[in-house]
Structure 1
């Protein structure tokens, strides 16, 4: 899961049939009247204050995109609970600068600042994908290796303890260039996966499917058995969408394939270029022709999916844990506390009982590529590093993940627990929107994720069970991506046209507009468009990555 806290996922489900009611999010407030001050524990000085190292800075400027959930309630991060607390703890006044909302607007402002050299002291951005080595050579941002070793003791220790994280953070030129958001080593949940109508399974006396064959039997029963009980053959057994292929590739993992580039015993491969990809297409074509997947999937959108789900037309689908499965359950229970509407999450299916399919949508990297760089404009980079390092301390981890004690969380037997301001917000804000008043945990930042916070983001047992089930997969084929700027340009040049052709042909194969006898022609065209050259580039970067110390 590219981490958008995925873990860095913060999605809000809008249900059109209910007037756009916002529900709790997957990975994903008004504050209460409480003005409780931080406890003595949360205000303890960090290592940087108690050693002979630098003190925290009096002030600095910080450019960072504002999280959309936070923007519901505040206009600037200076209003956010954690930064108010950090100012009390460190004495540092931070001037936050937020670019206009929108991916292109953020990119345009970033590029303008880099071109003009008019830089804030600190910049939070997707540095990994934006030529950090060049930014260092051009004198825009600082190499942080020595600064972290000397002035950021918490992060320095973490990098010593987590060599793979250090490899992810280190560029081809040997530079560490950002303070990262660090995911947990052992994710509690996978945030995207397959789920079915459990009440339909029960009505038809079926068990949750574990293999592709079992799925076909279940989908056929959903098509023919009138599980919604309206006397019409209007059920959509599986709501397939083109984005399913891109985000979680349901059923592809059964054939040992990944949707894009992956490695198998150190050899880089591309999923759609493998012979077994034809088996996957054959399956999807059969299901489409038999009416087991949505005939109109190319024109279906999120609102239509949500409407059909809540109106008892969809039997199964792939979706997010919180804003999908959990959101539907929440809405149905709000409509009717005694609703018979039930959902169950299941692992990615395998071909044979007891096998593990290749992971679908699992978080596999400790770092997403988004981080906080210190620019050459900073007059006190060592002190800023000490301030950023607070997020990797025990106290900082609690602060960033839970917010402000007495407001967004309280201590229960010594452990942080979100208050009802977060979990049952009186203004009907989702969990991540409510947290946005207090912390950036729903997006990313210079801190480490907390497993217990993740558990509390998804308090519904059915959602927790589903997301645990999605972790049951083979993650061994994960391949870290660490392309340098030249490689990124070459890959973009190859893959833009290749993917356009690929998705067009995949849809034609599935819908029967092109016979699968043309699969060899499809493979030959991928070769002509440069897939083998792209694979060689990824092979080179993978080998280079694995050699990093």
Structure 2
């Protein structure tokens, strides 16, 4: 007996739902494992967003949650979305991340260095842990515009297969990408009538004078001419190599086995034997480092612009009024040469706010996070709330006095973190006007310019190791790094003769170094083809 058309029409929706349920039930776990990253979205409006993020130590010292930050309160007010932050315990970020990834239920978004996921971000996508943004870019017009206008940013934000990992933290200009470099006591140079050194030979002359001519004026031979660790880029770079992987053209090489590295070690060994290099260079911890710097003993070092140069200038202002640190150029072999290597972050530093497979409001979350890249969102994330943490002066967002000179005596790094994320990280574009105020001393601004001079043309881009090679690569490099670091210290201190350098290279190769180089080479080729 045939059903009437009227009855069929009534049953059609039910039949469709039943067929859909049968189809879904028929999906194998293998299909899911292959990377089905579409979460079960709902049509409810986005009102709350669970957000996993590690707390910066300066923030953890003064608050319990990033939800207390002025900028976040403004974002919530403007969007109607409440962010429910989840923070791992200090120092346990990696461990807590791994435990979280083992769970079937994840927060809506997770901010992390996703290429550190076992197997990399591509494996996280394949595992269904995160959802690539490629299909959602039309819902993120601000972010899409940035990627369209900056192809290299898109390359850095993608996996080797072209999947966009998440919403990245972006440092758009060189002045924000460079924050470490060599510094020297300008007051000691002036006292001894010496210019700022630029070549390695000029450095030797200056350090020798610091050692022998009592620049701190206490009548004791207690000066430490230079305090740097083994393998410091500022001085390996003199010889055209870093302390790790680099590329010449499209060929990957490993710095610590090159003949030029032996030249670096020979120089450091000479400095150590002549008492120019801190005798504790391999053992200094932060307390020892600070004690020597504030004890008016150290003539030169490599440090950060804020937590180093600025901090020590502040600490010594009343104790030693003449104390003055200035940046020096990255040294070269010959006068007039341009330095090749220097500290520089990528424009996209590798921290992504990724939407997880547990998110039920993917499209709305994309729209929400895109707001952070809008002009209004960018201003809030970098400067907070107008009238509270900043005021506009002739079109320039200037932090208020309560931020720059905290009434509770908080250092600037902590005072800023009460209001903004510009000194931290997140899904937004960092603003150079933040750095112009954070590193407010003229010496700091000069440092950011001087340290940005190296070409860094041989620097490795942010490649990833192939998933199938990941375990083997990690095992090789664990052995290589351990042995390399031990031997560098021994070579510098003279505990091992530099005549054994070839033997040291052979040992590294026996550990599988050539295989690791091949894996890096493959990663570089995949990166270039993204």
TM value normalised by structure 2: 0.88
Shift of 1:188: 4.9
Alignment match, 1:374: 355
Alignment match, 1:23: none
Matched, 1:311 2:295: yes
Matched, 1:113 2:94: no
Matched, 1:282 2:263: no
Q: Is the 8 A contact 2:69 2:418 kept in 1?
A: yes
Using the alignment, how far apart are the partners of 1:530 and 1:267 within structure 2? 18
Q: Which runs of 5+ in 2 are unaligned?
A: 1-42
Residue pairs, 1:266-277, within 5 angstroms: 266-277=250-261
Using the alignment, how far apart are the partners of 2:267 and 2:93 within structure 1? 41
Alignment match, 2:520: 538
Using the alignment, how far apart are the partners of 2:431 and 2:323 within structure 1? 32
Give the secondary structure class of the aligned counterpart of 2:486.
helix
Give a deviation string over 1:299-333, Cα, whole Å, max 9, x none. Answer: 32222222222222111111111111111111121
Alignment match, 1:77: 66
Matched, 1:257 2:234: no
Give a deviation string over 1:453-498, Cα, whole Å, max 9, x none. Answer: 1111100111221232111212111111321433332221111011
Instruction: Return closer, same or farther for 1:188/1:86 CA change in 2, 3 Å cut-off.
Output: closer
TM value normalised by structure 1: 0.85
Alignment match, 1:494: 476
Q: Which runs of 5+ in 1 are unaligned?
A: 1-53
Matched, 1:327 2:308: no
Instruction: Return closer, same or farther for 1:408/1:254 CA change in 2, 3 Å cut-off.
Output: same
Give the secondary structure class of the aligned counterpart of 1:61.
strand
Give the secondary structure class of the aligned counterpart of 2:302.
strand
Give the secondary structure class of the aligned counterpart of 2:271.
helix
Matched, 1:402 2:383: yes
Alignment match, 1:6: none
Instruction: Return closer, same or farther for 1:93/1:492 CA change in 2, 3 Å cut-off.
Output: same
Give the secondary structure class of the aligned counterpart of 2:107.
coil
Give the secondary structure class of the aligned counterpart of 2:350.
coil
Using the alignment, how far apart are the partners of 1:55 and 1:438 within structure 2? 31
Question: Which of 457, 460, 475 lines up with 2:441 in the alignment?
Answer: 460
Alignment match, 1:187: 175
Q: Is the 8 A contact 2:171 2:177 kept in 1?
A: no
Using the alignment, how far apart are the partners of 2:142 and 2:370 within structure 1? 6
Using the alignment, how far apart are the partners of 1:121 and 1:537 within structure 2? 34
Alignment match, 2:39: none
Shift of 1:421: 1.9
Matched, 1:65 2:54: yes
Residue pairs, 1:415-454, within 5 angstroms: 415-454=396-435
Shift of 1:401: 0.8
The root-mean-square deviation of aligned C-alpha atoms, in Å, is 1.7
Give a deviation string over 1:97-143, Cα, whole Å, max 9, x none. Answer: 222222xx323332233222111111111112213222222222212
- Which stretch shows the higher mean deviation, 93-102 or 500-509? 93-102
Give the secondary structure class of the aligned counterpart of 2:289.
helix
Q: Is the 8 A contact 1:282 1:516 kept in 2?
A: yes
Q: Is the 8 A contact 2:273 2:493 kept in 1?
A: yes
Using the alignment, how far apart are the partners of 2:133 and 2:386 within structure 1? 32
Using the alignment, how far apart are the partners of 1:436 and 1:392 within structure 2? 19
Using the alignment, how far apart are the partners of 1:375 and 1:300 within structure 2? 41
Shift of 1:335: 3.7
Q: Is the 8 A contact 1:410 1:416 kept in 2?
A: yes
Question: Which of 97, 105, 114 lines up with 2:86 in the alignment?
Answer: 97
Using the alignment, how far apart are the partners of 1:547 and 1:472 within structure 2? 28
Q: Greater Rg, structure 1 or structure 2?
A: 2
More relative contact order, 1 or 2 (CA 8 Å, 6+ apart) = 1
Using the alignment, how far apart are the partners of 1:420 and 1:270 within structure 2? 48
Using the alignment, how far apart are the partners of 1:55 and 1:145 within structure 2? 23
Give the secondary structure class of the aligned counterpart of 1:251.
helix
Matched, 1:479 2:467: no
- Which stretch shows the higher mean deviation, 346-355 or 118-127? 118-127
Q: Is the 8 A contact 2:59 2:414 kept in 1?
A: yes
Using the alignment, how far apart are the partners of 2:348 and 2:44 within structure 1? 28
Shift of 1:56: 6.8
Give a deviation string over 1:232-281, Cα, whole Å, max 9, x none. Answer: 21111111333xx2xx4221111110110011112111101111111111
Using the alignment, how far apart are the partners of 2:348 and 2:475 within structure 1? 26
Instruction: Return closer, same or farther for 1:335/1:427 CA change in 2, 3 Å cut-off.
Output: farther
Shift of 1:192: 1.0
Using the alignment, how far apart are the partners of 1:415 and 1:239 within structure 2? 39
Give the secondary structure class of the aligned counterpart of 1:331.
helix
